[in-house]
Chain A
Amino acid sequence: MFGIGVLKGMAVTFKNFVESYYKKERLTTIEYPEKRLAEKERFRNFPFLIFDEKPEDPRCVACDICAKECPPQCITIVRAQDAQGKPLKKPATFDIDYSICMNCGVCEEVCPFDAIFMDHEFELAEYGRFEDLNYTIDRLLKPKEHFMKIRPTDATRIEAELKKKENAKKAAAEKAAAAAKAKAEAAKTQASQVPDTKPETKPNEPAQPADPPAEAK
């Protein structure tokens, strides 16, 4: 019969129309200020600086790599100096102009010290442009717990890597210290032994620098 297809189509439309009032999967609206979507871990918005224990000691060493790599050039860093004018390994000022930043994440990628990461904060609308949107270091610094909270996977991986690096560094330092100590001791024993040892032991010593402590015992 002519028109039956139209009626069938209308029935589908009507069913969908009615369902859109009570079916849960059809009520898609997020009532934003009260309810929010669950934050995706990989969401990234604006960069922030991370500090380990105290905000006075940020991880950033003011190496200026991120400022050089930032595509729209919105990072300005001034390195801190001590009283003698010797540059310190931390920033005196660190400004990111959020009105220019394009959320690209290059700064996070290039930072060799894992000091800058992308944040989840997005409620950043401001009335003023120049002062309000220029984020200075006191607004950028956030503790590492914050990073762990917003991006646990990345944070765990990076913390583990940092720990490994630190341990390796410590081990190397210990080894170096032991070697230095051994050398010093060897020199000492050598100096004390010089008068009463025979001359033929001497050529052996430089070949085994790690051994003298054992010999000295």
Chain B
Amino acid sequence: MTHAPNVSQVDPALKSELAKKGIAVMKLQELYNWGRRSSIWPMQFGLACCAIEMIATACARYDIDRFGAGLFRASPRQSDLMIVAGTVTKKMAPQVVRLYNQMPEPKYVITMGACSISGGPFKEGYNVLKGIDRYIPVDVHLPGCPPRPEALLHGLMKLQAKIDHQDIEKTEWYQKGLKREFPIPEFGPNGLLPPYNPEVWQPQKRKEITVPA
């Protein structure tokens, strides 16, 4: 994914000159993005061991509140960010998708840890989803098992950088007729149905490994 830099059309020299006098000049979009990036409220839910690191990040030592993302909301209706922290079992996946559907737009997802990105150590297991990106779009992938608190902060900074580069006119949630209800998988006799949401995820073609002569 590439992001076009969000450059202001105001002359930077003039801008800094005005800033010295206490006047901030910016595009509406910059103000909007600044507001968004400085108040990403995560949803308060954890699935496994990564959640412990998430809690550690919220505590005084690392203090995620310095980024404006410290207000863990207990309701999906009030949160902007879903930190999928931990193993997504097939039993839990429908609930995760449902919670994602209940979040108001704009909403972001960080997958924290190997399990939620790809299934990690349980990827060959019968009961673990091989990555939550099969059902919902993911913004930042954060590898590690589990990632340390600083790594989560780094992931959050990456998400902030992504938000900074969003265009207010082109963002999905201001487009006409957008209805983002992701189908909630059913827990059938042979795992989840459907196995993935073709809108957001397609099986990757196996890369042919060629041996260079």
Residues of A within 8 A of B (CB): 28-33, 36-37, 45-46, 71-73, 76, 78-81, 83, 85, 92-93, 97-104, 122-130, 132-133
Question: What is the interface of chain A mostly: helix, strand, loop, or mixed?
Answer: loop
Q: B162 to chain A: which residues have CB within 8 Å?
A: 127
The count of A-to-B residue pairs whose CB atoms sit within 8 angstroms is: 117
Q: Are A122 and B212 in contact, CB atoms less than 8 angstroms apart?
A: no
Q: Are B139 and A127 in contact, CB atoms less than 8 angstroms apart?
A: yes
Q: B147 to chain A: which residues have CB within 8 Å?
A: 122, 124
Which A-chain residue is minimally distant from B60 (CB atoms)? A28
Q: Are A123 and B209 in contact, CB atoms less than 8 angstroms apart?
A: no
Could you say which of A92, A123, A125, A130 contacts B140, with CB atoms under 8 Å apart? A125
Q: Are A98 and B61 in contact, CB atoms less than 8 angstroms apart?
A: no
Could you say which of B139, B142, B212 contacts A124, with CB atoms under 8 Å apart? B142
Q: Report, nearest first, the 9 A-B pairs whose CB atoms are least far apart.
A: A125-B155, A102-B145, A99-B117, A127-B1, A98-B143, A123-B154, A99-B118, A122-B151, A72-B121
Q: Count B interface residues, CB 8 Å.
A: 40
Give the distance to chain A from B105, nearest Cβ to Cβ, in Å. Answer: 19
Q: Are A125 and B61 in contact, CB atoms less than 8 angstroms apart?
A: no
Could you say which of B61, B119, B141, B212 contacts A29, with CB atoms under 8 Å apart? B61
Q: B98 interface residue, CB < 8 Å from A?
A: no
Q: B138 interface residue, CB < 8 Å from A?
A: yes
Q: Are B213 and A133 in contact, CB atoms less than 8 angstroms apart?
A: no
Which B-chain residue is minimally distant from A72 (CB atoms)? B121
Give the distance to chain A from B142, nearest Cβ to Cβ, in Å. Answer: 5
Q: A78 to chain B: which residues have CB within 8 Å?
A: 209, 211
Q: B150 to chain A: which residues have CB within 8 Å?
A: 30, 32, 36-37, 122-123
- Distance, CA A191 to CA B204, complexed state (A): 71
Q: Are A100 and B141 in contact, CB atoms less than 8 angstroms apart?
A: no
Interfacial residues of chain B within 132-167, with CB under 8 A of chain A in the complex: 133, 138-145, 147-148, 150-151, 153-155, 157-158, 162
Q: B212 to chain A: which residues have CB within 8 Å?
A: 80, 92
Q: Are A125 and B142 in contact, CB atoms less than 8 angstroms apart?
A: yes
Q: Are B123 and A81 in contact, CB atoms less than 8 angstroms apart?
A: no
